[in-house]
Amino acid sequence: MFIINNNKTKGVINMNNLKKVGLSALAGSLVAFSANAGEMTVSGAASLSMSAGNELNQTTWSSTDHVDFTGSGELDNGMIITYKVQLDGDEADNGVVDNNSITIDTAGSGVITYSGHGGDTVMGGMDDKTPNAYEEAWDSLTTTGTNAVINGAGNGNDHIRYDSPSFSGVTVHASVDMNAALGEGGNYNDFGITVKPEMVEGLELGYAFGETEATAGTPIDDSTFYVKYAFGPVTVGFQESESDATSATNSDETSTFGISYQVTDDFSVSYNTHEYNDGAWTSDEEYTGISASYTMGGITIAGHMNEVENRGGDSTAADVEGYELNVGFAF
């Protein structure tokens, strides 16, 4: 039996020592808890844009803003769990919550991401990999096609994606988009690969393909391939995409080219072209655009001048021009 008192005798627990032990244990537990505690970061952006063009009767103004909350923590086995939610007042279809996702970094075996809303399918993440200083050549221009870009049938909601570690510059991607809007086929599945050869600095290649069957017996296959090369301040890129349906008239094709030049660390310019064919058209829509951006700390001023010929596949259609100037703030 132990007797607790303030006398320092053999076989007796000293109260002062007990207090010291207790405080040391408490401090140690707090240190251990802090080391395993998660982290929370807050970031966001806002922008103001002015748009004009020969189809608009007046200059239009628009603004966007969002706030991102990101929380992450490391498990005892080295895995890192990250949760991200974005609040966006412009997101009408999902309230104020826009993108939200949970990511598991397996610490050596790849990254698994579940996106409740706003995730990137493999095809969606490769919709345009050519370099540009601001926006794509078709931005600010109306089109009778499907947004002039082929990015697969998934919408990134209720979406699971896997990205492998890099093996000598090679990364494999796969995703499943559980989109009820796709009809009888249900899911949209796609796969891809990106290659950044270690022996050729600045070179990047990528390929992705996906399939959906919105109507039983009528599958649609999507595919894209791109190559991009950066040397010094110059980056050039080319991309081809295709969506094959059961008939040629329902099949779309695009080809895109871009070149950008980093004039200074803060100022860049680019020239881009894009061709889009709906399959049923006799002529391709042909887009061209120039853009520029300048960054001053957390502020970026950017703009573009874009034009499309043969809109809607009609070679007699009038050319359409679009202009945009944007001021963005990030924190």
Fold of 3-26+44-330: Porin (2.40.160)
Indicate the pLDDT class of residue 225, thresholds 50, 70 and 90. Answer: very high
- Give the per-residue pLDDT at 98: 76
Count of beta carbons in the 10 Å neighbourhood of residue 185: 19
| Rounded Cα–Cα distance for residues 226 and 207 (Å) | 7
- Give the per-residue pLDDT at 49: 93
Entry pTM: 0.80
| Rounded Cα–Cα distance for residues 174 and 154 (Å) | 13
Query: 185-207: per-residue pLDDT in tens?
Result: 557 888 999 999 999 999 999 99
Evaluate whether 224 touches 207 at the Cβ level (below 8 Å).
yes
Indicate the pLDDT class of residue 216, thresholds 50, 70 and 90. Answer: low
Beta strands 320-330 and 299-309, pairing class: antiparallel
CA angle 90, 91, 95 (to 5 degrees): 115
**Which residue, chain included where needed, has tokens 């002015």?**
50
Burial of 294 by CB count in 10 Å (0-12 exposed, 13-18 middle, 19+ buried)? Answer: middle
- Give the per-residue pLDDT at 217: 62
Query: 52-99: per-residue pLDDT in tens?
Result: 887 666 788 988 888 999 999 999 889 999 999 998 866 555 556 778
Evaluate whether 193 touches 207 at the Cβ level (below 8 Å).
yes
- Give the per-residue pLDDT at 220: 79
**Token duo for residue 157:** 């909601």
Q: Domain ranges for the chain, please list them.
A: 3-26+44-330
**For residue 7, is pLDDT > 60?**
no
**For residue 163, is pLDDT > 60?**
yes
**For residue 251, is pLDDT > 90?**
no
The better pLDDT of the pair 219, 88 is held by: 88
